[in-house]
Amino acid sequence: ARRVVSPPARALVVLDALDECKAEHRRALVKSLARWGHHSTCIWLGFVLSSRPEDYIPPRLAGFEPTKLEAGSEHNLADVRTFLTRELGPLVIEHDLGAAVELMTQRSEGLFVFLKLVLADLRRPTSSDRKLSLSDLENGDLLPSSLSDVYETYFDRLKTALGDEELYKAMLDVIVAVREPLTIVQLGNLLGLSRAQLIQSVQKAQNLLHVGQDETVTLLHKTMADWLTDWASEDKDIAERGKQALMADLHADPSDGHKRLGEWLADEREDRFAFAHAVHHLAHSGQNTRAMELLHDFEWLLTAVADKGVPPWTLVRDAPNPEDDVVLALGKSLHALRERPLELAFQLLGRLGNGHPMRGSIDQVMEARGTPWMRPVQAHLAPAKDALRMIIQGHTESVMTVAFSPDGQRIVSGTGDNT
């Protein structure tokens, strides 16, 4: 890369919808940005990033001090009015345009997803080509009274278009439950559909589902997931709960999604996604025994960590029984496995001892692989169940001081290496 010594002016890089780029590119870019944000003294270069707030990206870029855009803020509502003035111009009688803009702004609550779906309906060809009046919007069925009404209409259309109630429920149960978006191929495999069949189903939901560049399938907006899953909420008044109960067949059940995902992922032995998320979804569907069986299956564990590149700390985090000896041993080994994942057998036996039930399967798997490894003759590392919980590495000099954050969730250390 060419070194810029004296730029003529401040440079600004705009990255919109960072969460929608291909996963492998997104991870590399976020990692580079996080490193740059923490260490850069380059005051002439700036970034403007946008991403969905529910994505994993904002926490990793906390060094940039991100701002969450609020739908009801005056700044956002001003943008909504500007947008509507332009989009409603060809559709609404001129002397009613201002009032129509205010009406739609109020009902949208500042959410552009409401405007997108309602405008799509208003633009549908009709037998009459006359422009709409304010009365048409206030008194007819053209303008829903809330985002909930919009979603009821669109998800009912999707269910009808699919023509299969079981497919509708299974697809949405999985989409609202999954921790990381599934690709079209993965979702098709889970639902027992071919790629062509699933693409056809997704196309019928084009106003509700988003397909990214990496072919991952997600709901178009977070509020859709909220609407699909809050039908049983206890804080609704009686009338609203009654209405939601009548249309419960339109809604999704994350617990059913977790169960379906857990059962599918536990038996999958090729896809990295399965090794990264099987334990999580099994635990969230109450299948704790099955989740722990995977963590005690050394061949599965070694494949996840060494072959598929699953960070071991995620398996420790997802384990339904954090006091299990294998989980504790894995947690104490994170510092070593981060750089040397093939050291898994050595680390586990060094902490669990040769008398542990996993000893036999470890020997068999390592022998079958033909990979040279050192087998400890006795437990010589910090035992799984001693007071030590985790070894954290990174400093190059002695640690001088350590402090806990007020919420007890973070540890801050200061050392002689000036970090």
- The whole-angstrom separation of Cα 90 and Cα 69 is 29
Spatial separation of the C-alpha atoms in residues 345 and 361, rounded to whole Å = 10
At 128, which helix (H) or strand (E)? none
Alpha-carbon distance 411 to 401, whole Å? 10
Q: Which residues contact 409 (CB under 8 A, 6 or more apart)?
A: none
Per the prediction, the chain carries an average pLDDT of: 85
Distance (Å) of CA 99 to CA 11, 66, 131: 41, 35, 15
Averaged pLDDT, 38-62: 73
How much is the CA Rg of the chain, to the nearest whole Å?
A: 27
Distance CA 69, CA 74 (A): 11
pLDDT for residue 315: 95
Question: What is the pLDDT, as a whole number, of residue 309?
Answer: 93
Tokens 């490193």 map to which residue?
35
Q: How far apart are CA 192 and CA 183, in angstroms?
A: 14
d(CA 97, CA 104) in angstroms, rounded, equals 11
pLDDT of residue 222: 82
Let me know: does 212 contact 296? Beta carbons within 8 Å: no
> Both tokens of residue 224?
């859709």
Provide mean pLDDT across the span 65-75: 85
Q: What is the pLDDT of residues 217-248, one digit of tens each?
A: 999 888 899 899 886 554 555 445 555 555 57
- For residue 384, pLDDT over 90 is answered with no
Residues linked to residue 47 through DSSP beta bridges, in sequence order: 13
Q: Using DSSP, state whether 195 is helix, strand or coil.
A: helix
Triad 364, 370, 374: Cα angle to 5°? 75
Instruction: Read off the pLDDT of residues 185-222 as tens digits, 9 standing for 90 and up.
Output: 999 999 999 999 999 998 988 889 988 888 899 998 88
Structure confidence by residue, pLDDT tens digits, 156-192: 999 999 999 999 999 999 999 998 899 999 999 999 9
In this prediction, residue 213 carries a pLDDT of 80
For residue 5, give the H/E element and its range. none
Kindly state the average pLDDT of the residues 332-352: 92
Model confidence at 374, pLDDT cuts 50, 70, 90, reads confident
What is the reported pLDDT for 311? 92
Higher-confidence residue: 262 or 41?
262
Q: Which residue, 109, 92, 112, 108, is CA-closest to 100? A: 92
**How far is the CA of 416 from the CAs of 39, 391, 392, 399, 400, in angstroms?**
18, 19, 16, 7, 7
